[in-house]
């Protein structure tokens, strides 16, 4: 994909005009993303659930009881919901749905063990312990993500790993080991829960109000200390002040925990601004070193971009090199603040050029449209038979498939090709599950 020089120039004109806004929202988004990022790898958990459900399906005996088919259909529906939520970046919902699907799959697995072994008793108390641990993990995940410190997160991750090992022992019939591991997992989760409760208490109104006053004092002292000529430091300070105002709004709305996290970020940004002011100032020696480092990076980046043969990347790279030349001119006329800003921007743009060489082609319209048509045909060919089957579980899966397919069509019109492809694939999978639940396959 090639970009004209005019479009590249226009892009960077908008970019440079928006740098103060980008700095503010970039930091705010970074803070939010850091806080909201799930403790566990959601995609990996979805893949593990998929393997578990696939193993269960591969081990199904001939003519399995309807209860097993119904439970497995429910699990598959939840797993399809997890895929869809993940595609929409709703990671906590995706994690919740895939964990629910996994536990149903494991219960089906236990039912099959009981059936294959001639009604050998599976310890119900042990099964309830494992399922209870799974529920605790599901319930604790949002709190650990929001309030957990390093120790809590480490213990929580260890409990999740042990929980997985517990199911391995359980499914292998080693109930003694499974029981011991299950009790350890429960103890660890209980400890994490207690630590989270203690942490939550930090976010009471009185504590946050005192934190607000301390932050206000820090901002005031920083404002007196940082000279206006320290451009980057002043930008950071303005960002901190905007976020500080936002924390006051959050406190007024009673959202103390969110206000406390914003105030912590305000303190970090303010302290960074003060350090920049002290360290850099407008001293030419440091600025010369910064320019030299940018020169070195541009040389390496230019080689990578040239080797890629990407014209769009070369256009971006030329912009970075022109900006570096402007930075050197600014230094020559003693406009050190401008020189520093330009050379740092030149380095960021060169990084963009390198990333552009690594971009993969977007999903093509024709490929997505073909996948949607294929799923339409699948729904048309199996829908009537599924409806006639009278299976409630199959009907739920069919309706879900139709909704996914509708979403896919909307995404296609909006040119959101990746989302469209994910939705139509989820629809196709749901139809096949419905057909299986209806006894058609």
Closest CA to 311 of 363, 362, 361, 357: 357
Q: 221 in a domain, yes or no?
A: no
For the cut 90, the answer to whether the pLDDT of residue 321 exceeds it is yes
Q: 422 in a domain, yes or no?
A: yes
- Residue 203: DSSP 8-state: G
Q: 331 in a domain, yes or no?
A: yes
Contact predicate 71/101, CB 8 Å? no
pLDDT digits (tens, 9 = 90+) for 9-47: 444 443 444 444 344 344 333 333 333 344 567 888 888
For the cut 70, the answer to whether the pLDDT of residue 100 exceeds it is yes
Q: 184 in a domain, yes or no?
A: no
| Model pLDDT, residue 325 | 92
pLDDT digits (tens, 9 = 90+) for 342-378: 898 898 888 888 877 765 444 567 788 888 889 988 8
Prediction pTM value? 0.31
| Model pLDDT, residue 189 | 87
| Model pLDDT, residue 183 | 87
Is residue 2 very low, low, confident or very high in pLDDT (cuts 50, 70, 90)?
Answer: very low
Contact predicate 317/353, CB 8 Å? yes
Q: Which of 307, 342, 358 is the last residue of a domain?
A: 358
Q: Which of 335, 358, 381 is the last residue of a domain?
A: 358
- Same domain? For 342 and 381 the reply is no
Q: Which domain holds residue 347?
A: 283-358
Which CB contacts under 8 angstroms, 24+ apart, belong to 414-423?
415/365, 417/362, 417/363, 417/364, 417/365, 417/367, 417/368, 418/87, 418/363, 419/87, 419/88, 420/368, 420/372, 421/363, 421/367, 421/368, 421/371, 422/83, 422/84, 422/87, 423/84, 423/87
**3-state class percentages of the chain: helix first, strand second, coil last, to nearest 5:** 85, 0, 15
Q: Which of 334, 358, 382 is the last residue of a domain?
A: 358
Is residue 191 very low, low, confident or very high in pLDDT (cuts 50, 70, 90)?
Answer: confident
User: How many domains is the chain built from?
Assistant: 2
- Same domain? For 287 and 343 the reply is yes
For the cut 60, the answer to whether the pLDDT of residue 276 exceeds it is yes
- Tell me how far apart the alpha carbons of residues 257 and 194 are, in angstroms, rounded to a whole number: 18
Percent of the chain scoring above 90 in pLDDT: 3
- Same domain? For 298 and 354 the reply is yes
For the cut 50, the answer to whether the pLDDT of residue 121 exceeds it is yes
């Amino acid at each position: 994909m090639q970009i004209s020089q005019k479009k590249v120039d226009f892009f960077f004109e908008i970019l440079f005009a928006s740098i103060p806004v980008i700095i503010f929202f970039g930091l705010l988004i970074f803070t939010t993303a850091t806080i909201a990022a799930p403790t566990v790898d959601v995609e990996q958990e979805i893949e593990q659930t998929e393997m578990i459900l696939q193993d269960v399906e591969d081990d199904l005996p001939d003519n399995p009881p309807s209860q097993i088919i119904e439970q497995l259909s429910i699990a598959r529906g939840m797993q399809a919901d997890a895929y869809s939520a993940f595609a929409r970046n709703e990671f906590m919902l995706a994690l919740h749905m895939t964990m629910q699907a996994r536990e149903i799959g494991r219960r089906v697995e236990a039912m099959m063990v009981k059936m294959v072994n001639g009604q050998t008793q599976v310890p119900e108390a042990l099964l309830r312990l494992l399922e209870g641990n799974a529920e605790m993990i599901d319930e604790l995940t949002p709190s650990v993500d929001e309030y957990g410190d390093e120790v809590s997160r480490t213990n929580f991750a260890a409990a999740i790993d042990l929980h997985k090992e517990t199911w391995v022992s359980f499914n292998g019939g080693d109930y003694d080991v499974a029981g011991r591991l299950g009790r350890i997992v429960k103890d660890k989760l209980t400890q994490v829960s207690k630590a989270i409760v203690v942490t939550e208490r930090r976010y009471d109104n009185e504590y946050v109000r005192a934190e607000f006053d301390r932050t206000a004092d820090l901002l005031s002292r920083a404002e007196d200390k940082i000279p206006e000529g320290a451009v980057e430091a002043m930008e950071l300070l303005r960002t901190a002040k905007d976020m500080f105002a936002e924390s006051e709004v959050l406190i007024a709305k009673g959202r103390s925990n969110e206000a406390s996290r914003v105030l912590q970020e305000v303190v970090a940004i303010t302290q960074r601004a003060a350090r920049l002011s002290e360290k850099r100032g407008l001293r030419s020696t440091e600025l010369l070193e910064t320019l030299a480092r940018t020169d070195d990076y541009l040389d390496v980046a230019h080689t990578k971009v040239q080797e890629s043969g990407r014209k769009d990347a070369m256009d971006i790279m030329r912009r970075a090199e022109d900006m570096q030349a402007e930075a050197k001119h600014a230094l020559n006329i003693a406009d050190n603040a401008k020189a520093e800003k330009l050379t740092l921007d030149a380095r960021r743009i060169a990084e963009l050029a390198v990333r552009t060489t690594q971009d993969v082609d977007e999903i093509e319209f024709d490929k997505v449209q073909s996948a949607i048509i294929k799923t339409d045909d699948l729904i048309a060919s199996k829908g009537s038979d599924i409806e006639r089957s009278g299976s409630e579980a199959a009907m739920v899966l069919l309706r879900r498939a139709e909704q996914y397919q509708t979403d896919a069509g909307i995404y296609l019109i909006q040119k959101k090709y990746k989302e469209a492809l994910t939705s139509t694939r989820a629809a196709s999978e749901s139809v096949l599950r419905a057909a299986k639940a209806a006894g058609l396959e």
